[in-house]
Amino acid sequence: MSNKKHDRRTEILQALAQMLESSPGARITTSALARQVGVSEAALYRHFPSKAKMFEGLIEFIEETLFTRINRIVQDESNVVTRIEMIMTLVLGFAEQNPGMCRLLTADALAGETERLRVRIAQVFDRIETQLKQVMREADLKQGLRPAMGVAPCANFLIAVIEGKIRHYVRSEFKVKPIDIWQEQWTVLAQNLMLNR
């Protein structure tokens, strides 16, 4: 029984993500979501007490997916510039593979929703920025490398690049992919990123 309930929750979240992708700019209603899933609104609320909790379920998926992989990158890769590239490419690749989630990451789909959801999204980016700072601080200690513009400004700049590319993807209605021309852009960034102490 619990597997069936878990499957239905997953099905609801997948339908919500698909609706976010297929209806850019549209507000998602629980009645439309229930129709998409093929259940009553009452059935939706048996799995999630509110639409905000459904959005939180998607945000939790984003966090779990990204930070599990970021932790693996940090453990497996020792070169600081490669680590940073892999983290940024991971986030951009995740965005490209999950267009509906990008509407959450940009808070585009959260207009009129509870402030708590926007705070949760801000925390996702704050955690990525913190991880980038840690990578750069460790590089200074272990490899004698430091960011050309200081740890905090550099991490902030890199997170702005990520957010800008994701926002561009949403604004283009998912036509301009975040990974498009990323290698060329990264090459220029990497050349100016780290300096020897």
pLDDT at 25: 66
Q: Return all residues near 57 (Cβ < 8 A) that are at least 6 apart.
A: 9, 12, 13, 48
pLDDT in tens, 117-134: 999 999 999 999 999 999
Q: Which pLDDT score, from 0 to 100, does residue 193 have?
A: 82
Beta-carbon contacts of residue 33 (< 8 Å; ≥ 6 apart): 12, 15, 16, 19, 44, 51, 54
Q: How far apart are CA 78 and CA 190, in angstroms?
A: 16
Domains of the chain: 51-196 (1.10.357.10)
pTM for the whole thing?
0.88
pLDDT value of position 1: 42
Among 194, 169, 189, residue whose Cα is nearest residue 179: 169
The list of the chain residues with pLDDT below 50 reads: 1-2
In tens, the pLDDT along 134-147 reads 999 988 777 777 78
Alpha-carbon gap, residue 163 to 97, rounded angstroms: 16
Q: Would you state the structure tokens that stand for residue 96, as one six-digit string?
A: 């490209």
pLDDT value of residue 4 = 58
Please, what is the angle between helix 115-143 and helix 151-171, to 10°?
140
